[in-house]
């Protein structure tokens, strides 16, 4: 225990420096603390406290002591340099560069500040590049998401399939006009698609703001080659296209007039519904029922 009674702040500081020179760091710390109790603004004692906390690896406390020497009207230049080094150690290159620049404003010829500022600037640029790469990877991951991962109406799903739209990336490159120009794709389907995209922060007609680096383009192409297309036979029977039934031309035209695109939609119609359609007679009805029976399905019962 160091005797600190009846000593001035400067005397305690001097005693602390002697103890520090002997390697007695704990005792030196007590002296500096005593000096600061006598004079909380004792610049040299504050600086040594920052230095000793750095030596112990308590970098945040060291930052606190050094910062107090840079906020007044008179700035302790070496505290600026040490803060730059501490923030560099804490992997905060932006803050480090800030203090190296402030050091150079006080001493334009500070050689170490020039070197460390150069390193900090390079680290900032690398961090920015890494951040950009991560953001681009995140965007690509979203754009690769299959549209089949989302809950869509049967009509919208079938339209997208016929337009060969497999991923969100395929979808955002289509404009609203292109979507609406497709047969049986109406305002309801458009609103559904726009809601889906908005969840992911996307919109129709959107392009990537910056060109993809070559390596990302190659990776995307390879993934698209390897990605399996959704085969019709993989879908539930009710979601498969009406084309799969292999109907006659007359029956097929009736399906088109009624807006029936899938087997499931056909099952929502009664025999009377179909017979009421122009040029759809009993022969066509028998054909349709026979095709459905092949899958163990039937038309909707009449009321």
Structural domains in the chain (count): 3
Percent of the chain beyond pLDDT 90? 28
Residue 138 lies in a domain: no
Would you give the DSSP letter of residue 296?
T
Residue 301 lies in a domain: no
Q: Are residues 104 and 76 in the same domain?
A: yes
Chain segment 98-113, per-residue pLDDT in tens? 999 999 988 888 888 8
Is pLDDT above 90 for 22? yes
Residue 2 lies in a domain: no
- The whole-model pTM stands at 0.43
Out of 82, 97, 129, a domain closes at: 129
Q: Give DSSP secondary structure letters for 16-83.
A: HHHHHHTT-HHHHHHHHHHHHHH-TT-HHHHHHHHHHHHHHT-HHHHHHHHHHTSSSSS--HHHHHHH
Out of 129, 156, 173, a domain closes at: 129
Q: Are residues 178 and 243 in the same domain?
A: no
Give me 35's structure tokens. 């000096």
Residue 23 lies in a domain: yes
| CATH code of the domain containing 209 | 1.10.150.20
Residue 300 lies in a domain: no
**Torsion angle of the four alpha carbons 17, 19, 20, 25, in this order, in degrees rounded to the nearest 10:** -130
Chain segment 25-72, per-residue pLDDT in tens? 999 999 999 999 999 999 999 999 999 999 999 999 999 999 999 887
Q: Are residues 156 and 212 in the same domain?
A: yes
Q: Are residues 118 and 150 in the same domain?
A: no
258: domain range?
Answer: 235-294
Out of 230, 253, 281, a domain closes at: 230
Q: pLDDT-based confidence at 132, cuts 50/70/90?
A: low
For residues 206 and 200, is the Cβ–Cβ distance under 8 A?
no
pLDDT of residue 10: 94
Q: Are residues 93 and 156 in the same domain?
A: no
């Amino acid at each position: 225990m160091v005797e600190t009674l009846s000593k001035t702040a400067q005397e305690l500081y001097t005693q602390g420096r002697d103890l520090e020179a002997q390697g007695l760091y704990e005792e030196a710390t007590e002296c500096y603390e005593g000096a600061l109790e006598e004079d909380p603004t004792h610049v040299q004692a504050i600086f040594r406290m920052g230095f000793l906390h750095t030596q112990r690896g308590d970098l945040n406390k060291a930052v606190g002591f050094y910062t107090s020497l840079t906020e007044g009207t008179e700035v302790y230049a070496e505290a600026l340099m040490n803060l730059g080094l501490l923030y560099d150690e804490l992997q905060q290159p932006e803050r480090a560069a800030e203090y190296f620049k402030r050091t150079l404003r006080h001493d334009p010829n500070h050689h170490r500040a020039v070197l460390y500022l150069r390193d900090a600037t390079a680290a900032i640029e690398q961090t920015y590049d890494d951040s950009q790469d991560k953001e681009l990877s995140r965007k690509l991951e979203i754009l690769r998401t299959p549209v089949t991962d989302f809950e869509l109406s049967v009509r919208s799903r079938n339209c997208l399939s016929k337009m060969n739209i497999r991923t969100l990336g395929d979808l955002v490159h289509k404009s609203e006009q292109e979507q609406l120009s497709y047969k049986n794709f109406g305002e309801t389907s458009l609103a559904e698609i726009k809601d889906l995209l908005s969840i992911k922060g996307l919109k129709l007609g959107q392009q990537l703001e910056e060109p993809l680096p070559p390596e990302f383009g190659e990776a995307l192409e390879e993934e698209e080659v390897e990605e399996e297309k959704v085969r019709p036979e993989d879908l539930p029977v009710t979601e498969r296209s009406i084309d799969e039934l292999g109907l006659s031309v007359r029956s097929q035209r009736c399906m088109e007039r009624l807006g029936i695109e899938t087997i499931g939609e056909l099952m929502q119609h009664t025999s009377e519904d179909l017979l009421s359609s122009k040029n759809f007679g009993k022969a066509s009805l028998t054909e349709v029922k026979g095709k459905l029976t092949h899958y163990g399905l039937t038309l909707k019962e009449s009321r």
